[in-house]
Structure 1
Amino acid sequence: HLERTGVRVERNTELVAFEDRTSSVVATLRNSGVTETVCAAYLVGCDGARSTVRHGLNIGFPGGTYEQAFYVADVTGSGAVTRNGMDTTVSAYGFAIAMPVRQSGSLRLIGIVPKAHEADETITFEAIRADVERDTGIKVNEVNWFSTYRVHHRVAERFRVGRVFLCGDAGHIHSPAGGQGMNTGMGDAVNLGWKLAAVVQGRADQRLLDSYEPERIAFARKLIESTDTAFRFITSRSRLVGLFRRYLMPKIMNVLLHTSYGSRAFFGLISQAAIQYRSGPISSGTAGKISGGDRLPYVLTAGGNNFEPLRSLDWQVHVYGEANAEFRAMLAPTGIPIHSFAWSDMAKATGLHRDGAYLVRPDGHVALASPVQEAAAFQRYLAALSLRPR
C-alpha cells in the first residue's frame, strides 16, 4: 500500500542516532553495515518498548513490572475450541486463552505460569503441562514452540520533544487485559498522522501538533490505570477473588452484556469508540450533549449515514437540521464543505442539537460544537490554526 503511494519501506534499517536542529531532524541510519544520514522535518519513534528514540530524548518511562510470569505456546491438540474466535477461561487459578492459528492450523495458548514455577530459572512446557491443559481445556499433543515473558505497565513522561514524537509501545506499554495494545498504538498514529500531514503540506500551523501529546498521553494514562485494575483482578491469587471470578463474574457479565446499555458500554470500551478529547487544546464548545473533542455520533440518514462524508479524511462542517444561507455564504471562502442532514429522532437520541453546527476533524472527532450557526466562531477557530482543506 505504501509503495503504491510512492513511499518505500527500508527494512533491516537501524536508527543509530538523531539530532533535533530546531528546523529539522537529522538521523543516522545503518543498513547492512552501511551508514547514511537523513534530514527530515520530523521524526516519529514507533520503535517499541525499548525505543531508541525515547532513550535518545532522555524521556523517563515510569511504571513497573507485574510479579506474574506468562507463558505463550503454539501447539497442536484436541479440545473444544471456538474456530475463528478466542476462548477465555477465568477460574479460581487465574485465566487462560486458547485461540486457533488459521495459517498453520495450530493453537495459540496464553496464560499465567503457576506460582510454583515462577522462580524457576528455566520454565519448560512439560513442567506446567498439567496446569495448561487444566486451564485451557486442551489436550496438547505436540508443542511447536513455547516461551515465557513478563508484563509491564509504563507511560512515557512525554510524547513529544521539539520535532520528535513517540507513538505506540515507545510511549506506553500495559497489560493485555482488554486487548487494547494494538488499538491504542494505531490511535496514536492516526491522531498524529493527520496533523503531521496538514502541517507538512502547509494546510495548518505547527501549533496543531501541540495537541498530540495532551490528547494521547491523557488517554494512555487512563488506559494504564484501567487495565492495571482489571489485570490485578484477573491474576489475583486470592482464594476469595478466585471464587468470585469462577462463579459470580460469569453470571454478572452475562446479565450486563445482554442489556443494551451494558453491551454498548462494553463495545465502546473495547473498540475505543468512546474516546473523547474534551480537555484537549483544540476542542471547543458544546451543542446538545456533544462537545468539542467527542467522537461524532453515528446517524442514519435517508440516503445513507452521516459518516460517509468522513471518507474524505478532511475538515468539514455538519449541520443537523437546516443550514442557513448566511452561514453557508460566510464559510464559503474557507473552502470547508458544509454537510446538512435532515433532523431526525436518531439525531436527537445521539445528543446532537437541532440546527447546531459541528466542525469535524479529519479523524471524525468534533473540534468545535456550536448550538447556533455563528460563522464568526468557525472562522476564528480555523484562522487560529491556519487550517485549510485539501
Structure 2
Amino acid sequence: MFTESRFTVIVGAGPTGLTLARVLSRHGVPYRILEASPGPPAGSRGKGLQPRTLEVLDDLGLISDFQAIGGPYPSLLIHAPGGSFAQRMDELHEPTPSVPYPNMLMLPQWLTSSLLADGVPVEYGIRVTDLAQDPSGVRVTLDSGETIEARYVVGADGGRSTVRKALGIEFEGSTHEEERMLIADVSVTGLDRDHWHIWPGASAFRLGLCPLPGTDRFQLTAPAGLSVPEAVAFLDPSITITDVGWTSEYRANMRMASRFRSGNIFLAGDAAHVHSPAGGQGLNTGVQDAYNLGWKLAYGGSALLDTYEAERLPVAAGVLGISTRLHQRQVDGDEDAMRRDDPVLRQLSLNYRGGVLAAEHRAGMGSAGLGSTAPGSIRAGDRAPDAVLGSGRRMFDLLRGPELKLLTFGWPAGLPELPDSVVVHRLELNSAYDIQVPTLMLIRPDNYVGCATHAPEDILTYLKLLTA
C-alpha cells in the first residue's frame, strides 16, 4: 500500500500546473511540481487573460503584478486593399461594483508563467515515465529512476499529456491537419504598437502582427508554409523583421478527455481539453480547472473529489463548443469573424448550478412584510460577485484567501458552532447579491456560492459534504 499522506505531484508547469501549486500552497498541502522542459517555456502562445481569471489572480494576491506588466487589447487595424480602418474585437467595458475587471488583459504566456512561477519550486528537466496506483495513492516513476509515492497526481502536462496516455483515457474530438498556422514572436520596424495589425485574405486573415505588452515584440500569425520574412514582405515591404524569436506551427486541434479523474489521478488544462485559440479560452479554462481542483485536494474527501469532473467537464465541453464555432467563423471568412463580444467569453457567467455542491435551499414567499425568501439572481453554484460594502471595503477583500466564508446578510446574532475553517462575515442586506431578507451564504474557497439558505442547519449539513 502507498503512503496515506496528502502529498501531491503536479506534472507540468504551465499556467494550469502553476496555479494549482499556488492553491495547494495556500492550503498547506505539500507538493512537487515537475516539468519535462529544461527550463521555463518561451513564446507568447495564449496571450489573453479573461475577467474571471483576473479575479482568480486577485484572490491569489497577484493581480497588481499582472496589471503592472499586461495591457488592454488594442484595436484591430485592418489593412484592406481599399484602405486601412480600425475596429475593436469587443468594446471596452467600465468596471462595476460587481465586476471590477471587466476587460481582457493581454500578456504573453511566458510572462504569465513567469509571474505564476515566482516562488514556486518547479523541478525542470524531469519526465514521468510510469504511473501505478492503488486506492491509497500513486507511485510515480521518473526518467531519473526516482520513484515518488504520492496521495494524488495531477496531469497538467499539455495536449500530448503523458499522464493521460498512461491512464488510457480517450482524447475525443478532431484534428484538422489542413488548418495550420505559423506563430512567431518577432521584432519589427515600420509598424506602430497602438494596434493589432491585420492583413485580410480570401479566408480568415493572411497576416496578423499584435504588439505584446511587457515586451518590445509582436506576435506574428500567418498561414503555414511561409517563412516569417516571406509572410511579411509579401504583404507590406515597408515592414522589416529585425529578429525572430520563438516560433511554432499551430494545427487546429479540438479535443477533450472522456474523463478528468481516474482514481487518485486527475487531468487539468490542455491535458484534459485543447481548444482553438479563437476566443482566448484555453489557458483561462485551465486556470479555472486548477482553482476548482486545488481546494478539493486539500479537503481530500473522495466524494468531494468526484465533483471536480462533475463540475469542470461540462464547462470544458461548453467552452470547447464556443471556441470551435469562433474558429470556424475565421475559416469561413465571416465578415465579423474577429468579433469577441459574446459575454460568455469573459467566463463570469460560468456556474455549477444544480450540482452536488450547489445547495440552494431558498424557496417560496416570506411572511407578510418580510419580502420574498425565494432565490434572487445570485444562487448556489454561481460566482460570488464583488460588491461595495462601505468604509472602503469590498466583498472581494472579505473573500480573499483559502478559507470557507459564511456571509450572514442581516442575520440575527445566533449561529451554530462552526469549525475553525469557516470565517464568518456579518453583513447588511445586500442588493449586489439580490438579498432582501436575512440569509446565509457559504462561499467555497474558489469563491462560488456553495450553500444559500435561511436555516443554519443547512450550513452544517453542507460542511459534511466537504469531507465525504
TM-score, scaled to structure 2: 0.65
Amino acid corresponding to residue 307 of structure 2 in structure 1:
S
CA distance 1:284–1:86, shift in 2 (3 Å): farther
- Counterpart of 2:134 in structure 1 is 21
**Aligned pairs, number:** 338
Which residue pairs with 1:369 in the alignment? 452
Instruction: Find out whether 1:358 has 2:447 as its counterpart.
Output: no
Task: Please list, as runs of the form range in 1=range in 2, the aligned pairs for 1:295-374 lying within 5 A after superposition.
Answer: 295-303=383-391, 304-320=393-409, 322-326=410-414, 328=415, 330-332=416-418, 336-343=422-429, 347-370=430-453, 372=454, 374=455
Partner of 2:288: 187
- Aligned residue runs from structure 1 range 124-139, under 5 A: 124-125=227-228, 127-129=230-232, 133=235, 139=239
> In the alignment, which of 141, 144, 148 is matched to residue 241 of structure 2?
141
Could you tell me how far apart the structure 2 residues matched to 1:177 and 1:227 are? 6
Between the two structures, name the one with larger relative contact order (CA 8 Å, sep ≥ 6): 2
Query: What is the CA distance between 1:143 and its match in structure 2?
Result: 5.2
Q: Which residue of 2 aligns with 1:386?
A: 467
Unaligned runs of 5+ in 1: 114-121, 200-204
1:62-211 equivalence runs, <5 A: 62-66=172-176, 67-83=178-194, 86-87=196-197, 93-95=203-205, 96-101=207-212, 105-113=216-224, 123-125=226-228, 127-129=230-232, 133=235, 139-142=239-242, 144=244, 146-199=247-300, 205-211=301-307
Q: C-alpha offsets along residues 152-198 of structure 1, whole Å, 9 cap, x if unaligned?
A: 00000000010000011100001001111211111111111111112
Cα displacement (A) at 1:91: 6.5
Q: Deviations over 1:244-263 (max 9, x none)?
A: 33xxx78xx6xxx9xxxx7x
Kindly indicate whether residue 376 of structure 2 is the aligned counterpart of residue 288 of structure 1: yes
| Structure 2 CA distance for partners of 1:100 and 1:283, relative to 1, 3 Å | same
Distance in 2 (alpha carbons) for counterparts of 1:350 and 1:25: 42
In 2: Cα distance, 1:386 partner to 1:76 partner: 53
Q: Distance in 2 between matches of 1:176 and 1:63?
A: 16
Instruction: String of CA shifts for 1:290-340, please: whole Å, max 9, x gaps.
Output: 2211001221011211121212321111123x11123x2x14467623212
Question: Does structure 1 conserve the Cα–Cα contact (< 8 Å) formed by 2:181 and 2:251?
Answer: yes
State the distance in 1 between where 2:399 and 2:431 align: 20
Change (3 A) 1:111 1:126: closer
String of CA shifts for 1:198-222, please: whole Å, max 9, x gaps.
Answer: 22xxxxx332111100111111100
Separation of aligned partners in 2, 1:381 and 1:103: 44
Tell me the distance in 2 between the aligned counterparts of 1:10 and 1:29.
12
Cα displacement (A) at 1:281: 2.0
Aligned position for 1:119: none
Change in Cα spacing, 1:338 to 1:147, as seen in structure 2 (3 Å) is closer
Q: Offset at 1:353? A: 4.4
Residues 319, 338 of structure 1: 8 Å contact kept:
yes
Asked if the contact 1:75–1:140 (Cα under 8 Å) also holds between the matched residues in 2, the reply is no
Identity of aligned residues (%): 30
Give the number of the structure whose alpha-carbon radius of gyration is greater. 1
Cα drift, residue 125 of structure 1:
3.6
Measured in 2, the distance between the counterparts of 1:302 and 1:377 equals: 29
Cα distance in 2, alignment partners of residues 103 and 209 from structure 1: 38
Matched, 1:45 2:126: no
Change (3 A) 1:46 1:353: farther
- Give the SS at the match of 1:215: helix
User: Deviation string for 1:22-75 (max 9, x for gaps)?
Assistant: 111001112xxx311110001111111111110111100011123321111333
Q: Using the TM superposition, give the Cα deviation of residue 288 of structure 1 relative to its aligned residue in structure 2, in angstroms.
A: 1.5
Deviation at 1:76, TM superposition (A): 3.1
Unaligned 5+ residue runs, structure 2? 1-17, 33-120, 363-374
User: Using the alignment, how far apart are the partners of 1:314 and 1:138 within structure 2?
Assistant: 56
- The match for 2:4 is none
Alpha-carbon distance in 2 for matches of 1:325, 1:101: 53
Partners of 1:90 and 1:234 within 8 A in 2: no
**Structure 1 residues 337, 108: CA separation in 2 closer, same or farther (over 3 Å shift)?**
closer
Helix, strand or coil: the match of 2:431? Answer: helix
Closer/same/farther in 2, CA of residues 294 and 138 from structure 1, 3 Å limit = farther
What does the per-residue CA deviation read over 1:263-286, in whole Å, with 9 as the maximum and x for residues that have no partner? xx63xx343222211132211105
Alpha-carbon separation, structure 2, partners of 1:65 and 1:13: 28
Native 8 Å contact 1:331 1:375 kept in 2: no
2:191 and 2:239 in contact (8 A); partners too:
no
Checking the alignment, whether the CA contact within 8 Å between 1:159 and 1:213 is kept in structure 2 is yes
- Contact 1:94-1:112 at 8 Å conserved across structures: no
User: Matches of 2:314 and 2:180 in 1, distance apart?
Assistant: 28
Q: Distance in 1 between matches of 2:348 and 2:214?
A: 30
Quote the Cα distance in structure 2 between the aligned partners of 1:313 and 1:155: 29
Q: Deviations over 1:73-105 (max 9, x none)?
A: 33333344335x755666654135322346662
**Once superposed, what is the RMSD of the aligned Cα atoms?**
2.9
Cα distance, 1:108 vs. partner? 1.9
Residue 146 of structure 2: aligned partner:
36
